[in-house]
Structure 1
Amino acid sequence: MNTAGHSEATARRGLELTPFRGLRYDPERVGSLAAVTSPPYDVVVRPDGLHHLQSADPHNIVRLILPQAGTPSAGNEQAADTLRRWLAEGVLATDPEPGLYIYEQSDGDGMLQRGIIGALRVSEPAEGVVLPHEDVMPPVVADRAALMRATSANLEPLLLTYRGNGVTAEVIERAAERPPLLATTTEDGYRHRLWSLTDPTDVDLVQSDMAHRQALIADGHHRWATYLRLRAEHPSPSPWDYGLVLLVDTIRYPLRVRAIHRLLHGLPVADALSPLDGLFRVQRLEAPLSEALEALANAACEGNAFLLAGDGAFHLIDRPDPDLLARTVPADRPAAWRTLDATVLHAALLEHVWHIPEDSPAHIAYIHDAAATVAKAERTGSTAVLMHPVREEVVRDLARQGVTMPRKSTSFGPKPASGLVLRALDL
C-alpha cells in the first residue's frame, strides 16, 4: 500500500483502545510484587533465568507465560490450571471496574517512561494502523496461540509506540500525580508504578486522541501475530477482537533500541571463523566485553559488522565481500533493508556460509543480553554472534514502506514487566 493509502487508513480508523477489568496480584497473597514479575517470555534466558524466576516466588508469572511440562500441550494445560487455581485462591483478583492503566518505569539514571495499557482492536497490517517491522517464526506464533487458547487470557502486554505529544500525554501526566495502585522495584533496579484510569471523561479523551494515531510494534511481533490468528478463529464480535498492549509516545518518552544477539548451538568458534577467509575481514580482540562492543560500534559506522565469541576472545568480523552480498542478499528490497546487519547475517552468513536454519531452536537461540549470550557460548562450546542495534528511525521508515526486517532484528526498551496486569478474555 502506498503512503497515501496508509494516511487514509489512519484517518479513517486509527487505534481503537478499550478499557478492561485488569487481573492483578493481591499484594497480601504473594511474597512481594517484585518477586512475582518477569521479563517478557522471549527475554527470559533459559534455563538459568527460568529457574531463578520459578524459585523467586511460587506465584511468579513465569509459571503462566513459560509453563514447564513434558510436552507443550501439557504445559499449556498446566498454565490454565495454575491460572484457575490462583483465581480461586485470590492470588489474582479482578479490578472492580473497567479501565485503562497508566504504567511507569524508571531507573536510577534518570530514565523515565510512561505509557497507557488497554485492550486494542486487532487490525491487519494492510490497514496501516498497527505496523509490524519484523518477520515472525510460525512455530512461535503457534506456541503462543496454544497458550492463549488454553488460558483464555492475554498474560502480558506487547509494546507499541506512537508519535503523539497530545491530549493522551496530558491525561497520563495528571494521573501520575495521584497515589498509584501499585509500586515496586524489581531486582534489575527498575521501579514500576501503575494507575487505573476509570474516569469516563479521561477515557474518552484518550480514545478520541488514539483514534487518529498509527502505532509501530516495538516488541511483541509474535504476540501480535497470535492476536490476529485467534481473532480469525472466533466469530466477531468477541473479546478476541482485542489484545493487551502498552502504548508509549516516543515523542514524549523515546525508547532505547538494543540489539538481539544469536547463539549458534553446537558450532565452535573455530568452525565459524574458518569459512570466513576471503569473505570478511576478521580481527581477534583480546579485550573485555565493553571494549569489544565499542569496537563493534565503531566498525558498524562503516558497514556491516559482528562480534563472534565463545572461545575466550572476541572476533570482530566486518567489511563483507561485495560479491558475497550480491550473490546472497535479495535485490528486490530497499537499500536500507539490504544493508541491515540482520539481513547480511541471515542471508549471507547463516544461510550460505554456516548453513544454519534461522527458525530452528535446535540450531539457534535469540538472547537479548550480550554477557549472557557470551557466557552460554563459552559454557556449551558454541558461537555467540553479537549485533549492533539499529536506529529507531530506520525501523519506522521501513515499516511505513511495508517492508519487514529479518526476525529478531531489534529490541526496544525498556520492556513492560510481565505480571503487573493481565487481561482475562472470559470475564
Structure 2
Amino acid sequence: MDASAVVTPPYVAGPFHLHPFRALRLDPVRIGDPASARLYARPYRNVEARLATWRARGDVTEDDHEALYVHEYTDSGLTVAGVVGALDISRRTPIAAESVVLPHEGVHPEQVRELADRMARMALNPAPILLVQDFPPAARQCVARIREQPPDHEFSDRGGQHHRIWALRDVRAIAELNHSWSRTPALVADGHHRYAAYLRLQAAGPGGPTDRGLAMIVDQHTAPLHLGAIHRTLRDTSFARLRTTAHTLACRWRDAPHGEAVAALHPGTVVVTDATSWASIQLPLPPGAAAVQFLHESFIPTLSDTPPAVRYHHTVDEALKHLRPGRDTAVLLPAPTLADVWNSVVSERLLPEKATSFQPKPHPGVFIRHLRV
C-alpha cells in the first residue's frame, strides 16, 4: 500500500459514550443472505421506498423505543458479545493519547467520501462498526447480568449465525455502562472507512443525528473476536527474488518441505511459496513490530524499484488457490497479536492495509440505524 494514499482518521475526544437508538432489523431469513445487499445498492435515493416496501412485507422492523442493545452471536462455535449503540463522535482531539476511539489502519479519502455520500443518501448507518476493549469491571458485570436474563430476540439467520439480543432501556444501567468505560479507549477492529465516513458526515453537519455513528463494542476479555492473519500473494514476483531480498535484509531464510515450512510460522517468521518450493523467513523485527509491518515497510519496497501488486487472502487455501505457479509468490503471515496492534496505536504508527482480521463479524442487517433530523 502506498502510504501517501492513506490518511489517519481524526481522533475522537472522550468521554466514550453510547447513546440509545431505535434499531431497524431485517427479518432473520434476510440476514446473512447476499441478496439482501440490494437494500444498499445504487441508486441510494430509492432506499426509503425500498425500506417502506420491506416494512409492508414484514421484512424489516423498527423497535418502538430507543435502547442500547446487548448483542451475542455465535458463528462456527465462536461466541462474541458486546453492546450496540450510537457512538458519540461529536468531539475531536489532535492528540492520540486523549482519544477514546483508536484506529489502527489508514483510510483512503476517496473511499471515505463515497461511503459518507452513500450513508447520507440512504439516511442510514447500515451496520455497526466493531470496536474492541477489555471492559472495565463494572461494565463487564452489567453485561453479564443482562446476559443471564431471557433475551428479547433470539434467532438463527440465513447465514448460520445464532443471535441473542437484549434491549437495555434502564436509565441507571445505561449510565453505569457509560460511566464505566467513559475514559477507556476502544480499538477499531473493523470498519475503519465507515468510521472515517461517520466523522466526515459529522463535520459536515454538526449538532444533528450525524453527531453519532452506529457501533458495537466487544469485550475482548469475556467473549472476544478472534484475531487472525490476512495472507498475501505478490504478483509477478519470483521465489528466487524473495530469497535474494531476504539475504539483503539479513533475514534468516530456510528452505523446507511444505509441512515443515508451515509449522515454522511464528510471530517473527513468515512462510513463502511459489506452489513448488517452500521456505520460512525469520525476520529481524524491531521491538514491538509485527511481521506485517516489516513485510510492507522493508521487505516489499526492497524487492524492486516498482513494488509488486499485492493480493489479500483470509485463508492459506485461498492464497494458494490464487497463486499462479511460476509467476507469483505467496507470503503466509502469522496472526498479529492484540499487543502488536496496541503497540502500533500508542506509537501513532499505522499498520499496513489489511493487517488484521477480527472474526467472526456479525452479519449485516441485525442492527441498522436511521439518521433522522
Residue 192 in 1 paired to residue 142 in 2? no
- AA aligned to 1:316 is A
Q: 1:423 aligns with which of 365, 369, 372?
A: 369
Distance 2:254 2:79 in 1: 40
Query: What residue number does 2:228 align with?
Result: 258
Query: What residue number does 1:351 align with?
Result: 301
Relative to structure 1, the CA distance from residue 356 to residue 102 in structure 2 (aligned partners, 3 Å threshold; closer, same or farther) is: farther
Distance 1:416 1:115 in 2: 11
Query: What residue number does 2:23 align with?
Result: 22
Relative to structure 1, the CA distance from residue 91 to residue 249 in structure 2 (aligned partners, 3 Å threshold; closer, same or farther) is: same
Question: How many pairs are equivalent?
Answer: 353
SS at structure 2 position matched to 1:251: coil
Cα offset for 1:182?
2.8
SS at structure 2 position matched to 1:142: helix
Counterparts of residues 296-311 of structure 1 (less than 5 Å): 296-297=265-266, 300=267, 303-308=268-273, 311=275
Q: 2:61 aligns with which of 74, 93, 115?
A: 93
Distance 2:261 2:46 in 1: 43
- AA aligned to 1:307 is V
Counterparts of residues 304-343 of structure 1 (less than 5 Å): 304-308=269-273, 311=275, 313=276, 315-319=278-282, 335-336=286-287, 339-343=289-293
TM-score, L = length of structure 1: 0.72
Relative to structure 1, the CA distance from residue 292 to residue 106 in structure 2 (aligned partners, 3 Å threshold; closer, same or farther) is: farther
Relative to structure 1, the CA distance from residue 277 to residue 393 in structure 2 (aligned partners, 3 Å threshold; closer, same or farther) is: closer
Relative to structure 1, the CA distance from residue 364 to residue 92 in structure 2 (aligned partners, 3 Å threshold; closer, same or farther) is: farther
Query: What residue number does 2:177 align with?
Result: 206
Query: What residue number does 1:153 align with?
Result: 124
Residue 273 in 1 paired to residue 239 in 2? yes
User: Does structure 2 retain, via aligned residues, the 8 Å contact 1:305–1:318?
Assistant: yes
Query: What residue number does 1:389 align with?
Result: 335
Distance 1:18 1:305 in 2: 43
**Deviation by residue 1:130-165 (Cα, 9 ceiling, x = unmatched):** 111222233432332232122121111111122324
Cα offset for 1:88?
5.4
Structure with the higher fraction of residues in helix conformation: 1
Relative to structure 1, the CA distance from residue 314 to residue 129 in structure 2 (aligned partners, 3 Å threshold; closer, same or farther) is: farther
- AA aligned to 1:119 is A
Cα offset for 1:207?
2.3
User: Does structure 1 retain, via aligned residues, the 8 Å contact 2:262–2:271?
Assistant: no
Counterparts of residues 211-222 of structure 1 (less than 5 Å): 211-222=182-193
- AA aligned to 2:129 is L
Query: What residue number does 1:412 align with?
Result: 358
- AA aligned to 1:409 is A
User: Does structure 2 retain, via aligned residues, the 8 Å contact 1:21–1:98?
Assistant: yes
SS at structure 2 position matched to 1:213: coil
Question: Percent of pairs identical after alignment?
Answer: 29
Relative to structure 1, the CA distance from residue 208 to residue 365 in structure 2 (aligned partners, 3 Å threshold; closer, same or farther) is: same
Cα offset for 1:94?
1.5
Q: Is there any run of 5+ residues in structure 1 with no aligned partner, and where? A: 1-8, 28-32, 39-52, 68-73, 326-334
User: Does structure 1 retain, via aligned residues, the 8 Å contact 2:136–2:180?
Assistant: no
Distance 2:315 2:45 in 1: 30
Residue 178 in 1 paired to residue 149 in 2? yes
Q: 1:231 aligns with which of 181, 202, 214?
A: 202
Residue 294 in 1 paired to residue 257 in 2? no
SS at structure 2 position matched to 1:277: helix
Range 155-164 or range 188-197, more displaced: 188-197
Q: Is there any run of 5+ residues in structure 2 with no aligned partner, and where? A: 1-10, 247-252
Structure with the higher fraction of residues in strand conformation: 2
Distance 1:136 1:129 in 2: 18
Distance 1:211 1:422 in 2: 24
Query: What residue number does 1:37 align with?
Result: 31
Counterparts of residues 43-62 of structure 1 (less than 5 Å): 53-54=33-34, 58=35, 60=36, 62=37
Cα offset for 1:227?
1.3
Cα offset for 1:344?
2.1
- AA aligned to 2:182 is A
Aligned-CA RMSD value:
3.3
SS at structure 1 position matched to 2:265: helix
Distance 1:389 1:175 in 2: 33
